[in-house]
A and B are shown apart, each in its own frame.
Chain A
Amino acid sequence: DIQMTQSPSYLSASVGDRVTITCRASQSVRTYVSWFQQIPGRAPKLLIYAASSLRSGVPSRFIGDGSETEFTLSISSLQPEDFATYYCQQSYSTPYTFGQGTKVDIK
Chain B
Amino acid sequence: DIQMTQSPSTLSASVGDRVTITCRASQSINNWLAWYQQKPGKAPKFLIYRASILQSGVPSRFSGSGSGTEFTLTISNLQPDDFATYYCQQFYSYYTFGQGTKVEIK
The answer to whether A and B assemble together is: no
